[in-house]
Structure formats: C-alpha cells, structure tokens
Amino acid sequence: MAINNLMRVSRSHNIFLKKFAHRQLSVFADFKNIVGDYDKYRKPVGSELMLGMTEFYTNKKAKDLHILDAGCGTGIYTRSIFDMGVGQMALLDASSDMLNVAREKLAAELDANKVSSIVQNSLPEIPFGDGTFDGVLLNAVLPHLPRGDGNFSGAVETLKEARRVLQPDGVISITESLDSSLTNAWCLNISPEIANKFCPILPSVEEWNKIFYEAGLKCLVRTNLLGFGLFSDEDYFDDTNIFKQEWLNSSVYYEPATKEEIERMRQKVKTLQTRGEIKEWIKDHDQTEKFGFMTLFICQ
C-alpha cells in the first residue's frame, strides 16, 4: 500500500522530533529503554558487501583492514565483520549500555587485541586522528542525529568527520531504510497511520544525494538489499496472536506511534490471525523480497 500525502504529517513529525530532541542518543528513539531487546530480532544485513567493497576499493585483504563501526550499538555488525576475518575494528557509540553488551559479545577479540578502541561519544564528533581507518560503518545511524530546520545537518557533519578519519582510498558504508521503501515490509504496511508518521523522518534518495554532496562525498554504490533486512522476519507473535512487545521494542519504526495506534495495529493482526488470513495477507502485502527494505550506500 502506497503512503501518500506525506506533507500533511510534516507538522506532527516536527513536533515529534522536538519532543525527543533532548535525547543524546537519538532525535526520535529511546535506545536506553530497548537495549535489553535490541539484539533479539536484529541481524547485520549487508555486512559481507560492506567488507567486500572495503577490500575492493582499498586493495587490501580483510586481515589487513582497520574499520570503525560508528554508532555501533551492541556490536552486531562488528561481530559479523570480525567473523569474516577483518584484522582490527574500533567501536564508537553514545550509549554506555549498548557498549557494555558489545564488550561481552567481543570478549575474544578484546583478549586478542583486535579491538583497537571502544569509545563512548556522541556523533557527529569522531575522536580519532586523520586517516586512521580503511573503512567506516554507519548502520541505521544517520537519521537519528540532530538536524536543522528541514535538513540533516547532523548526518552531514558526521560524514565529514568520517571522511576525515579515512585513509585516502577508504570507504564509508551506510545502511538505511529510504522513505519510499519503508512500506515494502508488511508489518509497517499494515498500519498506514504509523508509517505516515515515520516516513518523513527518513531521507529520500534525493535528500541522501544532497547530504553526500554537502559532506564532500561521492556515492560509488547504491543498492537495495533484498529481504526484510535489519529486523528478523520471523517469530513476530505471542500466544495471543499479536505482535510481541519485545519485537516492537527492537524496532524504532514504532516510536512515533501512540498507544492507541499500536493497539489498533495489534487488533488488526489478531483479527487476521483469528480468520486464518494472516499468511495470505503477508504474502500479498510484503514486497521486501522483490524490492528490499534497506539500502546500502558506499561512499568515498
């Protein structure tokens, strides 16, 4: 289902962003309250492409690369990249709670001195020297950063910093949902009123191009990642046939929704479940295998 007339929600969107502007971690998501459920349904979509593109453009093997995971969260991507044989990684995030989980996840790499740094710091500042890294990862991070009136100033400044800490042949890998791809996922398509609130938070392709231009970057690769992407597409429902609260907690896409909107969405799912129609509804309304949900940008 297409989401139309996004301009009519711009006012409520701006109010929503202002409401959460005081948060250090995100302008719209409360990561402190979801850290316990954060890893349960997330997966490092596109990590093999990020590593492969970094190897290609730097002309280095994985074992010789030093990569920064900026806005690393609990280290989901860091863990995946290490599993593919990268030599060294550094982690940066604003959340001490997230970094504590990452430390546990990367205990072996810490013991082996493969983790060069773990830094708690808020973007856009990246407190490393010029030319430190072969690659910088920014996965589902940039729209969370502070923005000016109608622009994405936090994203631009972060990308400028990422470019500064890169080696000359290094690359920046970015994964994000586009405003136009959000409703490819059935679990967002099922509630247009919630999707209408969230879509304006995400940059469009045109806005991403402007962000890259203002940051002095060139986008080398843009590709949609087929499948649901960052979030698991299994085990949504509890014993009462409604969305599990922990699944909702793991996804930031429902942050703008009111309790009443969440309840209406849950009841719609429950009704479809009761009628035995949910599998067919998902089949008819999910386009992630055809068009994807997440987009990967490789920039230099």
Closest to 221 (Cα-Cα) out of 11, 50, 18, 99? 50
204 within a domain of the structure (yes/no): yes
33 within a domain of the structure (yes/no): yes
pTM over 0.85? The answer is: no
295 within a domain of the structure (yes/no): yes
Q: Categorize the per-residue pLDDT at 38 as very low, low, confident or very high, splitting at 50, 70 and 90.
A: low
Q: What digits encode the pLDDT tens for the residues 77-113?
A: 999 999 999 999 999 999 899 899 999 999 999 999 9
Any idea what the CATH number is for the domain that residue 47 is in? Answer: 3.40.50.150
Domain that holds residue 240: 6-299
234 within a domain of the structure (yes/no): yes
Cα–Cα–Cα angle for 270, 200, 7, nearest 5°? 105
21 within a domain of the structure (yes/no): yes
Predicted pLDDT of residue 68: 98
Mean pLDDT along residues 138-147: 87
Buried b (16+ CB within 10 A) or exposed e, 16-34: bbeebeebebbbbbebeeb
Closest to 28 (Cα-Cα) out of 120, 126, 142? 142
Q: What digits encode the pLDDT tens for the residues 190-205?
A: 888 888 877 777 888 9
134 within a domain of the structure (yes/no): yes
Predicted pLDDT of residue 237: 66
Number of domains in the chain: 1
1 within a domain of the structure (yes/no): no
